[in-house]
Amino acid sequence: MPNQNKIIYLDYSATTPVDPGVANIIDEHLRNSYGNASSIHAVGRISKVILEESREIIAKSIGAETSEIFFTSGGTESDNQALIGTAFAERESTSRNHIILSAIEHHAVLDCAEYLKELGFKITHLPVDTRGMVKMEDIERAITTETFLISVMHANNETGMIQPIRQISDIVKQHNIIIHSDVVQTYGKILVNADELMVDLLSLSAHKIYGPKGIGAIYIRKGTKIDALIHGGAQERKNRAGTENVPLIAGFAKAVELSNIHRESMFQNAVIFKQRVIDGITSKFKGILVNGDVPSSLPHILNVSLDSKFYDIEGESLLLNLDLNNVAVSSGSACTSGSIQPSHVLLAMGRDERTTKATVRFSFGRMTTMDEIESTIRIFCTIVEKFKR
């Protein structure tokens, strides 16, 4: 087993290490804030105060009201409620049954849509261009009188491409359509404001911003019709049953506060790291394809493929070779990286299947150093040389 002290970790888009300050907050509340936030006695009221203070911090971070933030187990649950909860609420009140989503959504959205399709809802998948960008004209063509929801992620988790959510909102709001955006990859990295994006629903997650796994939130704009996904109690104003995990929620809030402090410096460092990796590998080899458009994407994510015309490489061989050299990266979404299926995102962008399988996603974080970047470039180039045709 590799020595973790020597591992170069460049998979921050899959998850981030918990910040020590966050870990301290969680530990403190695990030890001391053991009351049930729904209890009316003094011990419960202490937990309630922590819960609501945390909610206020997270609400303020996206320009929302505290009453519009509901805690969940993470981004996947938030995505599920956004789609399923909205669909069920709509079915109870109108005859509209059409949902639009981009072809490059996270599987937490895509799989929900397939589930709803089995229940009789109509689903339209928007194509993307070769950069991985949704086009406004495709949205306008897809809208019908039955459309009640559109879901487009803020930035793609594989390529980092930032979608024009505000422009999409300007279009769909003319048709009284609810708009949802998964901001898991952008939250804490760039400014995310619910009013500026003009969205009705946002999915948030803690473990992408140096917080704990197992906790997230959904922003629900006041007045948006949505059903609860989990039943069995009055917690979260009857929107999400189950005793709130106050220590993790407090850790989430602390991670948000720290992200506000580090966001700008991390962004600037990521710009430098991304360009250095691009220059370092494309200057030595032909057929290194950068997926997405660098100026229109998050600097924290770099997705590259080895063109099948130049390289002969099977499936996960590239990742395994990097892992053997203590470089931790992925081929794309951590939720599907164990699968041999090619990336649906890159296929939607027009890459051929073999090239798509020979893909690496580098993602940079708060602890990334230039020494790690230089070492990664050297290791990557040594490995790629072996697979040249």
Give me the active site residues, please.
Answer: 335
For residue 182, give Cα distances in angstroms to 1, 104, 138, 169, 294: 35, 12, 20, 14, 21
Residue 206 C-alpha from the chain's centroid: 10
φ, ψ at 290 (rounded to 5°): -85, 120
For residue 173, give Cα distances in angstroms to 140, 193, 197: 12, 17, 12
Element (H, E) at 346: helix 344-348
Contact indicator for 102, 125 with CB cutoff of 8 Å: yes
Supply the DSSP string of 230-290, one letter for each residue.
S-SS-GGGGTS-S---HHHHHHHHHHHHHHHHHHHHHHHHHHHHHHHHHHHHHTT-S-EEE
List, in order, residues 6 or more apart from 68 with CB less than 8 Å away. 59, 194, 219, 220, 221, 222
Q: How far apart are alpha carbons 191 and 264 in whole angstroms?
A: 10
Q: Tokens standing for 71?
A: 């805690």
Q: Tokens standing for 22?
A: 């966050």
